[in-house]
Structure 1
Amino acid sequence: MVFVLGLCVMLLKASADVGSIITSSVFENMLKHRNDAACEGKGFYTYDAFITAAKAFPAFGTTGDATTQKRELAAFFGQTSHETTGGWSSAPDGPYAWGYCSVREGSNTASTGYYGRGPIQLTHDYNYRDAGSAIGADLINQPDLVATDAVISFKTAIWFWMTAQGNKPSSHDVITNRWTPSAADTSAGRVAGYGVITNIINGGLECGKGQNDQVADRIGFYKRYCDLFGVAYGDNLDCYNQQPFA
């Protein structure tokens, strides 16, 4: 009995390890063009930085069964790859092999200001303040740490992913089946699935507007990563008919 219990604990620990799903070679295959010469962020996003950041959030990529864990990681990288994409329709290996190409939003190079930086393209002073408070970094006075320290950069993205804000659930709770839509959500067409994560991240600009390229791009990245992990996509991938969160 002791042996069986010990084996179960070992198996549980083995499955609850982001690095056992996204190994270094898997990371390179997922983001195979991130260090291309044409990418503004070449050399910035490293595997070790990702793993170090992930360990600061024990529930990230380790919640639920193996399928749920893989689907969460596919969703996280699907969304963040869209935010940092350098791909185009005829790009080598396809447009969805070009995630994590950029670090800074557009042509911004300033070390000050709260423009988009990092995998989630963290924006707004309140997000820099709250993310910094959560991870122990002074991002109000040093916002450019999100673009110069890869561990901090990944941590801000995972923090955003794991954190509910206002009437928005966390992306983590959505993808791990821990969110139940309220009556208001249901009335607004916001149903559980990858699509509502897009709504959480950028619903005001992308959701409730019918089919559009931005949402389709997020779905394309997500599907590629699900395919690499060998998991089904789940239902409700888009937010074309969802009203944005108020």
Structure 2
Amino acid sequence: MAMNRAIALVFVVAVLANLAVIASGDDKKILVKTVKGKKVCTQGWECSWWSQYCCNQTISDLFEVYNFEELFSKRNSPVAHAVGFWDYQSFILAAAKYEPLGFGTTGGKLMQKKEIAAFLAHVGAKTSCGYGTATGGPLAWGLCYNHEMSPSQIYCDDSYKYIFPCSPGAEYYGRGAIPVYWNFNYGYTGEALKVDLLNHPEYLEQNATLAFQAAIWRWMTPMKKSQPSAHDVLVGNWKPTKNDTLAKRGPTFGTTMNILYGDYTCGNGDIDPMNTITSHYLYYLDLMGVGREQAGPHEELGCAEQQVFNPSSSPTASSS
């Protein structure tokens, strides 16, 4: 009995010696431990998994309510189409699921802010109702929409009827923070989020947290094993191959457009959809106090001359 107690005491001491609590912010504490010689952390509900990324500041440490309000200052204007839908807390709740995987928590403070700005630049550009003479400027109108207003079709592809059959009466037009189109994309996204989006695509225009989660999942997930995610490209986890270099694809913001939209945006020269996303990125960097000079050379911001990863004839190409 005494021997068992001694062994138990040694075990407890060893565990405690392997844990440390570090103060972070006003009330938050980071719990740190070492696993196989590597430091991993948790920060409560905001970064609740044991992860190397949880040792960094979380998104809410770097991107506060006032930042969100500055970036999307016109989203609740009377003429906006999704008044009252999008809010800061929904974004933070959605992000918490992906912070342990590196979303907004990779690298130092500069890289973290750049990724937040880059992701939200796509969101802002794809949900904007801004135009050249709009009050506050065209870049202030992100999160104006949460769904496509005048769909030209229901976006049902019958070639996927054996894995993601279109639900009777459902329409798979664009919804969400980075709009999801087509039954197969709703199917893949729903499987990842464990939500029945195939039968209920409308969920993405009814729940802002879910809409942000779908967009972050798309940002974090490669569509093919041989390809990077937009996240990996932006934070420098991806190393282009010789073929990528020949195709003018590099670890740049422009390549994130290639991944997300394919030839709807890239490889078509200097077109407005590409320039709009780039403009949002530079604008958001300025508002977040990073400065657009941190975005990199001008030629890295777009994808005008890039060969696309997934041509539009491919099922993985996204509509935009």
TM > 0.5: yes
CA contact (8 A) 2:282 2:295 kept: yes
CA contact (8 A) 1:42 1:101 kept: yes
Percent identity, please.
Answer: 35
How far apart, in 2, do the equivalents of 1:117 and 1:179 lie?
Answer: 29
Displacement of 1:138: 0.6
Aligned positions of 1:33-52 closer than 5 A: 33-52=74-93
Aligned positions of 1:1-246 closer than 5 A: 7=22, 15-58=56-99, 59-108=102-151, 112-166=170-224, 167-231=226-290, 232-235=294-297, 236-246=300-310
How far apart, in 2, do the equivalents of 1:181 and 1:124 lie?
Answer: 29
Mean Cα displacement is larger for which, 103-112 or 152-161?
103-112
CA contact (8 A) 1:49 1:151 kept: yes
Displacement of 1:7: 4.7
Larger radius of gyration: 2
Mean Cα displacement is larger for which, 15-24 or 68-77?
15-24
CA contact (8 A) 1:105 1:117 kept: yes
Q: Kindly tell me: are residues 55 and 177 of structure 1, through their superposed partners in 2, closer, same or farther at Cα, counting changes over 3 Å? A: same
CA contact (8 A) 1:53 1:152 kept: yes
Aligned residues: 243
How far apart, in 1, do the equivalents of 2:23 and 2:263 lie?
Answer: 45
How far apart, in 2, do the equivalents of 1:107 and 1:38 lie?
Answer: 17
CA contact (8 A) 1:14 1:20 kept: no
Displacement of 1:212: 1.1
TM-score by length of 1: 0.91
TM-score by length of 2: 0.71
Which amino acid in the other structure matches residue 125 of structure 2? H
2:44 corresponds to: none
**Offset from partner CA, 1:176-226 (integer Å, 9 cap, x none):** 110111222111111111000111111212211111111111011000111
Secondary structure of residue in 1 paired with 2:201: coil
Greater fraction strand: 2
How far apart, in 2, do the equivalents of 1:221 and 1:55 lie?
Answer: 24
Which amino acid in the other structure matches residue 234 of structure 1? G
Displacement of 1:229: 2.0
How far apart, in 2, do the equivalents of 1:105 and 1:180 lie?
Answer: 35
Which amino acid in the other structure matches residue 46 of structure 1? D
What is the root-mean-square deviation of aligned Cα atoms in Å? Answer: 2.2
Which amino acid in the other structure matches residue 129 of structure 2? G
Displacement of 1:22: 1.6
Mean Cα displacement is larger for which, 58-67 or 122-131?
122-131
Q: Structure 2 stretches of 5 or more lacking a match? A: 1-16, 31-52, 155-168, 311-320
Mean Cα displacement is larger for which, 141-150 or 222-231?
222-231
Which amino acid in the other structure matches residue 135 of structure 2? P
Greater fraction helix: 1
Displacement of 1:43: 1.1
CA contact (8 A) 1:117 1:146 kept: yes
How far apart, in 1, do the equivalents of 2:55 and 2:132 lie?
Answer: 38
Displacement of 1:92: 1.6
How far apart, in 1, do the equivalents of 2:209 and 2:304 lie?
Answer: 34
Q: Structure 1 stretches of 5 or more lacking a match? A: none
Secondary structure of residue in 2 paired with 1:144: helix
**Offset from partner CA, 1:76-132 (integer Å, 9 cap, x none):** 010111110111111122111111111112324988222110110011222211221
Q: Kindly tell me: are residues 51 and 209 of structure 1, through their superposed partners in 2, closer, same or farther at Cα, counting changes over 3 Å? A: same
